[in-house]
Structure 1
Amino acid sequence: DKIGLYKYRRNKIGIVFQQYNLISYLTGLENIELAMTETDNAIPKNQYALLEKFGIVKSKADRLVTKLSGGEQQRVAIARAIASNVDLIFADEPTGNLDTATEQEIIKIFRMLTEEFGKTVIVVTHSNVVSELSDHRVVLNEGQLKDIQ
Protein backbone atom coordinates (compact mmCIF):
# COMPACT_ATOMS: atom_id res chain seq x y z
CA ASP A 1 0.00 0.00 0.00
CA LYS A 2 2.86 2.38 0.76
CA ILE A 3 4.54 2.20 -2.64
CA GLY A 4 1.70 0.95 -4.86
CA LEU A 5 1.24 -2.28 -6.79
CA TYR A 6 3.00 -1.15 -9.99
CA LYS A 7 6.08 0.10 -8.17
CA TYR A 8 6.15 -3.00 -5.96
CA ARG A 9 6.01 -5.30 -9.00
CA ARG A 10 8.65 -3.27 -10.82
CA ASN A 11 11.11 -3.20 -7.90
CA LYS A 12 10.48 -6.49 -6.08
CA ILE A 13 9.36 -9.16 -8.57
CA GLY A 14 10.96 -10.74 -11.63
CA ILE A 15 9.16 -13.18 -13.91
CA VAL A 16 10.57 -15.99 -16.06
CA PHE A 17 8.09 -17.20 -18.66
CA GLN A 18 7.90 -20.56 -20.40
CA GLN A 19 7.97 -18.84 -23.80
CA TYR A 20 10.82 -16.51 -22.68
CA ASN A 21 8.96 -13.31 -23.71
CA LEU A 22 12.14 -11.67 -24.92
CA ILE A 23 11.96 -8.79 -27.37
CA SER A 24 12.92 -10.50 -30.62
CA TYR A 25 14.47 -7.51 -32.39
CA LEU A 26 16.87 -6.88 -29.48
CA THR A 27 20.05 -8.69 -28.49
CA GLY A 28 20.34 -10.61 -25.24
CA LEU A 29 22.27 -7.68 -23.75
CA GLU A 30 19.66 -5.15 -24.91
CA ASN A 31 16.86 -7.24 -23.34
CA ILE A 32 18.75 -7.09 -20.03
CA GLU A 33 19.44 -3.37 -20.29
CA LEU A 34 15.79 -2.63 -21.06
CA ALA A 35 14.70 -4.42 -17.89
CA MET A 36 17.21 -2.36 -15.92
CA THR A 37 15.59 0.90 -17.04
CA GLU A 38 12.34 -0.08 -15.33
CA THR A 39 13.49 -0.17 -11.71
CA ASP A 40 14.44 2.12 -8.86
CA ASN A 41 16.83 -0.53 -7.48
CA ALA A 42 20.61 -0.45 -7.65
CA ILE A 43 21.55 -2.45 -10.72
CA PRO A 44 24.65 -4.41 -11.75
CA LYS A 45 27.31 -2.33 -13.49
CA ASN A 46 28.54 -5.03 -15.87
CA GLN A 47 25.68 -6.60 -17.79
CA TYR A 48 28.06 -8.87 -19.71
CA ALA A 49 29.29 -10.33 -16.41
CA LEU A 50 25.69 -10.94 -15.34
CA LEU A 51 24.93 -12.78 -18.57
CA GLU A 52 28.17 -14.75 -18.31
CA LYS A 53 27.13 -15.89 -14.83
CA PHE A 54 24.25 -17.62 -16.60
CA GLY A 55 26.35 -19.11 -19.40
CA ILE A 56 25.88 -16.42 -22.05
CA VAL A 57 29.27 -15.24 -23.31
CA LYS A 58 29.76 -11.77 -24.85
CA SER A 59 29.57 -13.00 -28.45
CA LYS A 60 26.17 -14.58 -27.74
CA ALA A 61 24.97 -11.65 -25.62
CA ASP A 62 25.44 -9.42 -28.67
CA ARG A 63 23.30 -11.63 -30.93
CA LEU A 64 19.62 -11.12 -31.57
CA VAL A 65 17.77 -13.41 -29.15
CA THR A 66 16.14 -15.14 -32.12
CA LYS A 67 19.62 -16.42 -33.05
CA LEU A 68 20.05 -18.14 -29.66
CA SER A 69 18.96 -21.66 -28.73
CA GLY A 70 15.96 -22.20 -26.48
CA GLY A 71 18.20 -22.86 -23.49
CA GLU A 72 20.21 -19.71 -24.19
CA GLN A 73 17.04 -17.66 -24.53
CA GLN A 74 15.82 -19.00 -21.19
CA ARG A 75 19.15 -18.03 -19.58
CA VAL A 76 18.74 -14.49 -20.96
CA ALA A 77 15.18 -14.45 -19.59
CA ILE A 78 16.44 -15.48 -16.14
CA ALA A 79 19.19 -12.85 -16.24
CA ARG A 80 16.57 -10.28 -17.28
CA ALA A 81 14.39 -11.29 -14.32
CA ILE A 82 17.14 -10.52 -11.82
CA ALA A 83 18.83 -7.66 -13.71
CA SER A 84 16.71 -5.14 -11.85
CA ASN A 85 17.89 -6.59 -8.52
CA VAL A 86 14.52 -7.94 -7.39
CA ASP A 87 14.02 -10.16 -4.34
CA LEU A 88 11.39 -12.56 -5.69
CA ILE A 89 11.35 -14.47 -8.96
CA PHE A 90 8.30 -16.27 -10.32
CA ALA A 91 9.04 -18.90 -12.97
CA ASP A 92 6.20 -20.35 -15.03
CA GLU A 93 7.18 -23.72 -16.55
CA PRO A 94 10.76 -22.48 -17.07
CA THR A 95 11.98 -25.83 -18.41
CA GLY A 96 8.87 -26.85 -20.36
CA ASN A 97 10.45 -26.19 -23.78
CA LEU A 98 13.90 -27.55 -22.96
CA ASP A 99 15.67 -30.87 -23.28
CA THR A 100 16.69 -32.84 -20.18
CA ALA A 101 20.30 -31.65 -20.09
CA THR A 102 19.29 -28.00 -20.44
CA GLU A 103 16.57 -28.52 -17.80
CA GLN A 104 19.31 -29.62 -15.37
CA GLU A 105 21.35 -26.50 -16.20
CA ILE A 106 18.36 -24.23 -15.57
CA ILE A 107 17.73 -25.95 -12.22
CA LYS A 108 21.36 -25.24 -11.27
CA ILE A 109 20.85 -21.58 -12.19
CA PHE A 110 17.79 -21.36 -9.94
CA ARG A 111 19.84 -22.93 -7.12
CA MET A 112 22.54 -20.32 -7.72
CA LEU A 113 19.92 -17.56 -7.54
CA THR A 114 18.88 -18.69 -4.08
CA GLU A 115 22.29 -19.65 -2.71
CA GLU A 116 24.55 -16.95 -4.19
CA PHE A 117 22.15 -14.10 -4.84
CA GLY A 118 19.77 -14.68 -1.90
CA LYS A 119 16.71 -14.60 -4.14
CA THR A 120 13.43 -16.39 -3.51
CA VAL A 121 12.36 -18.42 -6.54
CA ILE A 122 8.83 -19.77 -6.92
CA VAL A 123 8.45 -22.23 -9.78
CA VAL A 124 5.22 -23.51 -11.28
CA THR A 125 6.00 -26.75 -13.09
CA HIS A 126 4.70 -30.07 -14.33
CA SER A 127 8.23 -31.46 -14.27
CA ASN A 128 8.85 -34.01 -11.53
CA VAL A 129 12.59 -33.43 -11.92
CA VAL A 130 12.25 -29.72 -11.15
CA SER A 131 9.72 -30.35 -8.41
CA GLU A 132 11.76 -33.00 -6.62
CA LEU A 133 14.83 -30.74 -6.50
CA SER A 134 12.90 -27.91 -4.83
CA ASP A 135 13.34 -26.96 -1.20
CA HIS A 136 9.59 -26.90 -0.67
CA ARG A 137 6.81 -28.45 -2.76
CA VAL A 138 3.12 -27.75 -2.92
CA VAL A 139 0.88 -29.75 -5.24
CA LEU A 140 -2.39 -28.50 -6.71
CA ASN A 141 -4.80 -31.41 -7.01
CA GLU A 142 -8.49 -30.98 -7.82
CA GLY A 143 -8.41 -27.35 -6.73
CA GLN A 144 -6.74 -28.08 -3.40
CA LEU A 145 -3.18 -27.20 -2.40
CA LYS A 146 -1.33 -29.95 -0.58
CA ASP A 147 1.99 -29.37 1.15
CA ILE A 148 4.15 -32.40 0.43
CA GLN A 149 7.46 -31.32 1.88
Structure 2
Amino acid sequence: MEDTTGARIKKRRKELGFSVEELADDFKKGPATLYRYERYDVDQIPVEILELYSKKLNVSINYLLRLTDDPDKGNIDDENLKISKVRAEIKAFKRSNMFIGSPEEAHQQMVAQHMKRMRFNQRFNAYFEQLSDAEIDSVLNFMGYLVSLHKTESQE
Protein backbone atom coordinates (compact mmCIF):
# COMPACT_ATOMS: atom_id res chain seq x y z
CA MET A 1 0.00 0.00 0.00
CA GLU A 2 1.30 3.43 -0.92
CA ASP A 3 2.15 5.66 2.05
CA THR A 4 0.10 8.78 1.42
CA THR A 5 -1.92 10.97 3.74
CA GLY A 6 -5.07 9.39 2.33
CA ALA A 7 -3.72 5.87 2.88
CA ARG A 8 -2.90 6.69 6.49
CA ILE A 9 -6.37 8.13 7.03
CA LYS A 10 -8.01 5.02 5.55
CA LYS A 11 -5.80 2.62 7.51
CA ARG A 12 -6.45 4.37 10.84
CA ARG A 13 -10.19 4.72 10.12
CA LYS A 14 -10.43 0.97 9.53
CA GLU A 15 -8.33 0.20 12.62
CA LEU A 16 -10.84 2.12 14.73
CA GLY A 17 -13.84 0.62 12.95
CA PHE A 18 -15.26 3.85 11.54
CA SER A 19 -17.13 3.87 8.26
CA VAL A 20 -16.64 6.70 5.80
CA GLU A 21 -20.32 7.51 6.22
CA GLU A 22 -19.90 7.97 10.00
CA LEU A 23 -17.01 10.35 9.52
CA ALA A 24 -18.82 12.17 6.73
CA ASP A 25 -21.70 12.87 9.12
CA ASP A 26 -19.30 14.09 11.82
CA PHE A 27 -17.34 16.26 9.36
CA LYS A 28 -20.48 17.54 7.60
CA LYS A 29 -19.08 16.41 4.25
CA GLY A 30 -20.33 13.95 1.70
CA PRO A 31 -18.92 10.41 1.79
CA ALA A 32 -17.65 10.84 -1.78
CA THR A 33 -15.44 13.73 -0.62
CA LEU A 34 -13.90 11.62 2.15
CA TYR A 35 -13.34 8.74 -0.28
CA ARG A 36 -11.46 11.19 -2.54
CA TYR A 37 -9.30 12.25 0.42
CA GLU A 38 -8.49 8.60 1.13
CA ARG A 39 -7.63 7.93 -2.52
CA TYR A 40 -5.72 11.23 -2.53
CA ASP A 41 -7.65 12.36 -5.59
CA VAL A 42 -7.48 15.94 -4.33
CA ASP A 43 -4.36 18.10 -4.51
CA GLN A 44 -4.49 19.12 -0.87
CA ILE A 45 -6.72 18.11 1.99
CA PRO A 46 -7.89 21.29 3.74
CA VAL A 47 -6.19 21.82 7.10
CA GLU A 48 -9.56 22.05 8.83
CA ILE A 49 -10.36 18.53 7.61
CA LEU A 50 -6.92 17.28 8.71
CA GLU A 51 -7.68 18.64 12.18
CA LEU A 52 -11.00 16.78 12.24
CA TYR A 53 -9.31 13.55 11.14
CA SER A 54 -6.57 14.07 13.73
CA LYS A 55 -9.07 14.43 16.56
CA LYS A 56 -11.48 11.71 15.44
CA LEU A 57 -8.75 9.17 14.62
CA ASN A 58 -6.66 10.13 17.66
CA VAL A 59 -3.45 10.67 15.70
CA SER A 60 -1.27 13.70 15.19
CA ILE A 61 -1.46 15.86 12.11
CA ASN A 62 2.27 15.20 11.73
CA TYR A 63 1.48 11.51 11.33
CA LEU A 64 -1.25 12.16 8.78
CA LEU A 65 1.09 14.41 6.78
CA ARG A 66 3.83 11.76 6.89
CA LEU A 67 6.21 13.94 8.90
CA THR A 68 6.51 11.11 11.42
CA ASP A 69 5.75 7.40 11.41
CA ASP A 70 4.64 7.55 15.05
CA PRO A 71 0.88 8.26 15.26
CA ASP A 72 1.36 9.67 18.78
CA LYS A 73 4.33 11.94 18.03
CA GLY A 74 3.24 15.55 18.20
CA ASN A 75 0.04 14.50 19.93
CA ILE A 76 -3.13 16.51 19.56
CA ASP A 77 -2.69 18.35 22.86
CA ASP A 78 0.80 19.49 21.86
CA GLU A 79 -0.47 20.65 18.48
CA ASN A 80 -3.42 22.49 20.02
CA LEU A 81 -0.99 24.18 22.41
CA LYS A 82 1.17 25.24 19.43
CA ILE A 83 -1.90 26.57 17.62
CA SER A 84 -2.90 28.54 20.72
CA LYS A 85 0.59 30.00 20.92
CA VAL A 86 0.46 30.99 17.25
CA ARG A 87 -2.90 32.68 17.79
CA ALA A 88 -1.47 34.59 20.76
CA GLU A 89 1.55 35.63 18.70
CA ILE A 90 -0.72 36.85 15.90
CA LYS A 91 -2.71 38.95 18.37
CA ALA A 92 0.49 40.33 19.91
CA PHE A 93 1.86 41.17 16.48
CA LYS A 94 -1.32 43.02 15.56
CA ARG A 95 -1.06 45.10 18.73
CA SER A 96 2.68 45.75 18.30
CA ASN A 97 2.30 46.63 14.65
CA MET A 98 0.73 49.96 15.56
CA PHE A 99 3.42 52.59 15.27
CA ILE A 100 3.93 55.02 18.09
CA GLY A 101 5.90 58.21 17.72
CA SER A 102 7.01 60.36 14.84
CA PRO A 103 6.92 59.38 11.17
CA GLU A 104 10.71 58.90 11.32
CA GLU A 105 10.35 56.44 14.19
CA ALA A 106 7.59 54.64 12.33
CA HIS A 107 9.88 54.39 9.30
CA GLN A 108 12.70 53.01 11.47
CA GLN A 109 10.33 50.41 12.91
CA MET A 110 9.20 49.40 9.43
CA VAL A 111 12.81 49.05 8.23
CA ALA A 112 13.67 46.97 11.32
CA GLN A 113 10.69 44.69 10.66
CA HIS A 114 11.69 44.35 7.01
CA MET A 115 15.28 43.41 7.96
CA LYS A 116 13.97 40.86 10.45
CA ARG A 117 11.78 39.32 7.72
CA MET A 118 14.73 39.16 5.33
CA ARG A 119 16.85 37.28 7.90
CA PHE A 120 13.91 34.93 8.52
CA ASN A 121 13.45 34.34 4.79
CA GLN A 122 17.13 33.43 4.37
CA ARG A 123 16.94 30.86 7.17
CA PHE A 124 13.56 29.62 5.91
CA ASN A 125 14.89 29.13 2.35
CA ALA A 126 17.94 27.24 3.63
CA TYR A 127 15.66 24.94 5.60
CA PHE A 128 13.29 24.42 2.67
CA GLU A 129 16.14 23.24 0.43
CA GLN A 130 16.52 20.20 2.70
CA LEU A 131 12.86 19.12 2.46
CA SER A 132 11.26 16.67 0.07
CA ASP A 133 8.36 17.75 -2.14
CA ALA A 134 5.88 16.00 0.16
CA GLU A 135 7.32 17.76 3.22
CA ILE A 136 7.16 21.12 1.43
CA ASP A 137 3.51 20.44 0.55
CA SER A 138 2.82 19.67 4.21
CA VAL A 139 4.51 22.88 5.38
CA LEU A 140 2.62 24.93 2.80
CA ASN A 141 -0.64 23.31 3.89
CA PHE A 142 0.12 24.25 7.50
CA MET A 143 1.01 27.80 6.45
CA GLY A 144 -2.34 28.02 4.69
CA TYR A 145 -3.94 26.98 7.95
CA LEU A 146 -2.07 29.75 9.80
CA VAL A 147 -3.28 32.28 7.24
CA SER A 148 -6.85 31.07 7.77
CA LEU A 149 -6.36 31.49 11.53
CA HIS A 150 -5.11 35.01 10.93
CA LYS A 151 -8.14 35.80 8.80
CA THR A 152 -10.45 34.38 11.47
CA GLU A 153 -8.72 36.45 14.16
CA SER A 154 -9.02 39.55 11.96
CA GLN A 155 -12.76 39.09 11.60
CA GLU A 156 -13.32 38.75 15.36
Q: Which interval holds the TM-score relative to the shorter structure?
A: 0.3 to 0.5
- Structure 2 length-normalised TM: 0.31
- Structure 1 length-normalised TM: 0.32
Give the structure with the higher percent helix. Answer: 2
Larger Rg: 2
**Structure with more contact order per residue of length (Cα contacts < 8 Å, sep ≥ 6):** 1
